[in-house]
Amino acid sequence: MTTYKFSKKSRISSKNDFKAIMDYKLFFRNELMTLYMAPKIRAESRFAVSISSKTAPAAVRNRLKRLAREAFRLSRDEIAGDFDYFIIYSARLSKRADSDINPVRGKKSKMSGGRNNQSASNGIKKITLSEVKRGFVTLAEQGRRRFEKEQNK
């Protein structure tokens, strides 16, 4: 049975490692996130996630980071294990997540700056683990294919 752990070894933490991944310039976007990839530096594939503090309150940012880490942990068998991954959430996703916290129509929310929270009434669905996982796996697969294509040239 495969163990699905997210240990300290699985995390990207040093500034030099982040710089190496960003400098490799293999990245893909969807409406939820941008995924940067680079061939792994260490023995184990590693992961990091980031979201700007200007885009959402702390509770929303933390929830999104937990979802991304869980998606990576559960999808290790589906994605290529030869890469380090770095996700940066888009501002649109965090705004969508903000609407999920206080979905009462017309109620003023501290998180929306005192404005009426109209976005919840527009049919915005709640962000789920499966949605984040599907986006991550799709982008990782695109990256693997492009990497292999460039290596075969």
Question: Between these two residues, 124 and 19, which has the higher pLDDT value?
Answer: 19
Average pLDDT along the chain: 80
Residue 36: its pLDDT value, please? Answer: 96
C-alpha dihedral (137, 138, 141, 146), degrees to nearest 10: -140
Question: pLDDT exceeding 70 applies to what percent of the chain?
Answer: 76
| CA atoms of 111 and 56, how far apart (whole Å) | 8
What's the rounded mean pLDDT across residues 111-134? 59
Q: What is the DSSP string of 9-58?
A: GGB---HHHHHHHHHH-EEEE-SSEEEEEEE-SSSS--EEEE--TTTS-H
* CA nearest neighbour of 78 among 49, 50, 45: 45
Confidence band of 138 (pLDDT split at 50, 70, 90): very high
| CA atoms of 5 and 19, how far apart (whole Å) | 25
Domains and CATH numbers, the chain: 8-148 (3.30.230.10)
Per-residue pLDDT tens digits for 35-89: 999 999 888 889 999 998 887 788 888 998 999 999 999 998 888 778 999 999 8
Tokens at 100, concatenated = 């999920």
Query: Is residue 118 over pLDDT 60?
Result: no
Residue 125: its pLDDT value, please? Answer: 44
Query: Is residue 124 over pLDDT 50?
Result: no
